[in-house]
Amino acid sequence: MSANFLDQVNFDSNGLVAAIAQDAGTGRILMMAWMNREALAATVESGEAVYFSRSRKQLWHKGESSGNTQKVKEIRLDCDGDMICLQIEQVGGIACHTGRESCLYRVLENGQWRTTDAVIKDPSEMYS
């Protein structure tokens, strides 16, 4: 496979591009993470989401610890080339390290963040 597609991505000065994971079935945004060239290439190669962990400074295969992997159905690049959207199937139904379906589980109401999504699985059961 030609790596030419990687040259069309506008990685930032740190070599990263924002990547949104969206449930292919429901359209719900599940999370946002970062990818570098190697992570995007690994995602394409494996068919599962691979991100770049800024805190650990290494590739992170989503679900490597929790088992909640993301099977990639489609990859889209925005008009400026600086944002990726992954259409995924969330294996296990949990994308967030807090044990929820989505990392976007809080809504702003009257100047306060209100939690809207219940924990599906206690994180201590996923990460040991």
As a whole-number percent, the residues of the chain with pLDDT over 70 amount to: 97
Radius of gyration of the chain (CA): 15
Q: What is the mean pLDDT of residues 55-76?
A: 95
Q: Is the pLDDT at 80 greater than 70, yes or no?
A: yes
Mean per-residue pLDDT, 44-52: 98
The predicted model scores a pTM of: 0.91
> What integer is the mean pLDDT of 90-106?
96
Domain residue spans of the chain = 4-97
What's the pLDDT score for residue 127? 81
Residue 1 has pLDDT above 60, yes or no: no
Neighbours of 90 (CB within 10 A): 25
The residue-averaged pLDDT of 38-63 equals: 97
**Mean pLDDT for all residues in the chain:** 95
pLDDT band of 2, cuts 50, 70, 90: low
Tens-digit pLDDT profile for residues 5-19:
999 999 999 999 999
Q: Which CATH class is domain 4-97?
A: alpha beta
Cβ atoms of 61 and 50 closer than 8 Å: yes
Nearest Cα residue to 32 out of 82, 119, 104? 104
